[in-house]
Amino acid sequence: MDLALIIQTVTLYAIPVLFAITLHEAAHGYVARHFGDPTAYLLGRITANPLKHIDPVGTIAMPLLLYFATAGNFLFGYAKPVPVNFNRLRHPKRDMIWVALAGPGANLIQAVLWLLALYLLHALGTQERFWLDMCRAGVTVNLVMYAFNLFPLPPLDGGRILVGLLPHGPASALARVEPFGFFIVLALVITGLVGAYWLRPLMDVTLSALETLLSPIRLLLL
């Protein structure tokens, strides 16, 4: 494996990934505090400091191991989850939805900002490929986090959103899946089912929607 290529890839993705995971987790904590649970705030997790959100295994060791083991064809990782005591929320079932949405929402906003930065660099006539590729990486990384975390199975955000939306009986049944949810999702990722039937379709639809939404700004700049 080309060491120079690895270093270039890590350098290119480092800033977008750090922003993506940091703001995703901080957003969960901020919205939880807004709705009555100060747990994340008291633990110092509502912060832009990435060191507070990086999990040594999930954010660093696992992605690097998978990158080398699969020659860059498969990556998977996770950040340190922000602790939320849903019982302290003012309206736990309803407010859980907003807390869960906050993380993917933060990634969607970042995807928009990276896309705008790409348009601006093109408008300024920038030819430096590194910065253009970083903006594209920022869009991709945030769309991946946005789409993946919306997968409707606990403990992912999409699963918690679904628990909040379902009636009590089905919601309780789905919530009981959470201890095994990570392993189920990991198996679905490894088999390619999540990527083929959820991740790529949702990313493509979302990117198309964002490009359409931002097309007036793009035309104005270019």
The whole-number average pLDDT for the span 216-220 is 92
Task: Indicate the burial class of 154 (C-beta count within 10 angstroms; 0-12, 13-18, 19 or more).
Answer: buried
d(CA 55, CA 219): 41
Residues that are catalytic: 25
Give pLDDT, residue 69.
64
Q: Residue 47 carries which DSSP code?
A: S
CA-based torsion, 126, 131, 133, 139: positive or negative: negative
More confident residue, 116 or 128: 116
Residue 74 has pLDDT above 70, yes or no: no
Task: Indicate the burial class of 157 (C-beta count within 10 angstroms; 0-12, 13-18, 19 or more).
Answer: buried
Give pLDDT, residue 75.
62
Average pLDDT, the chain: 90
Model pLDDT for residues 46-68, shown as the tens digit of each residue: 998 888 898 887 787 777 776 66
Contact 76, 154 (CB under 8 A): no
Give pLDDT, residue 59.
80
Amino acid at 76: F
d(CA 58, CA 56): 6
